Amino acid sequence: MVSTDASERTCDMYLQLDRLLSCQRTVSGSDHEMLFIVAHQSTELWLKLLLHELRIAMIRLRGNEFREASHRIGRCGTVLHHMTEAWEVLSTLCTNEFLPMRPELGTASGLQSYQYRQVEFMLGAKHRGIIAAYRHNPTAQADLIRALKEPGLYDAAIDRLSARGFAIAQWHLHRDVCLPYQSNETVANAWRLIYENPREYSDLWELGEGLTGLEQRFQQWRIHHLQAVARIIGYRHGTGGTDGLPYLRHVLDNMFFPELWEIRTTLGVVP
């Protein structure tokens, strides 16, 4: 965008609408394809915002700004809520409207979104094997390798629990962050103490609730994705070579912050 004085800058200049609105190029000849393209492009924009907010939340956590971190995490939850509602729009695409354009998608799939994979990596769902699928895009692959090797949002939260004096196992604090996150008893004990004393640890309780809400929103987004796929293509294989609905059902079983869910079973129970 050409630099202009702020007093001369119009809305379309600031938002670069000429570039943004030139990206919706249909290839199938179907007059339903515009819906499909806009729905997926808008999702990518929201994923970009999610990545931005998650990074800021991690920075705030490392600076012990727990409430600002919780605010950013809450914003991520609201973004995911908006993304979830957007599936309702895509679900208006009937099967007989989608099938004629499907061959033009080739091997393209929404699950190939590297921003989506970055979000998963930042939330702890790390799978090194996924990265090979992006060898056609060196920039995306480099971003994913970086996200794989860096601690995620929950790692930052657990590190702060340790800094606040909670007894977190040292081996867990120094675990291999390239691996998917696994539940740990010492982390569960820390969260249980926080939840049993919410007034004493109000900022950490708020953080825990924010993380729980974020995961709930993410799972709701996944569920609505599953439902939208079922409505549009039924039990066919996914366009990107996945198993379609069985694959989506499988990912619903993967929890980002397991201890925050596990402790709810035993809170208030007298040993």
Q: 19 a known binding residue?
A: no
d(CA 78, CA 88): 16
Q: Domain 31-99+107-265: which CATH class?
A: mainly alpha
Q: 43 a known binding residue?
A: no
Band of pLDDT at residue 6, cut at 50, 70 and 90: confident
Q: How many CA atoms lie within 13 A of 34 on its CB side?
A: 3
d(CA 59, CA 41): 28
For the entire predicted model, the pTM comes to 0.89
What is the arithmetic mean of pLDDT over 137-141? 94
H helices of the chain, where? Answer: 11-14, 17-20, 33-62, 66-90, 95-98, 102-105, 114-122, 138-149, 153-163, 170-173, 185-196, 202-233, 245-251, 258-266
Where are the chain's structural domains?
A: 31-99+107-265
Band of pLDDT at residue 3, cut at 50, 70 and 90: low
pLDDT of res. 111: 62
The single residue listed with the structure tokens 């702020």 is 6
Q: 84 a known binding residue?
A: no
Structure tokens at 246: 């069985």
pLDDT digits (tens, 9 = 90+) for 210-267: 999 999 999 999 888 888 888 888 876 655 445 555 655 666 667 899 999 999 988 8
Structure tokens at 258: 């397991």
Give, as one character, the DSSP assignment of residue 238: P
d(CA 124, CA 162): 18
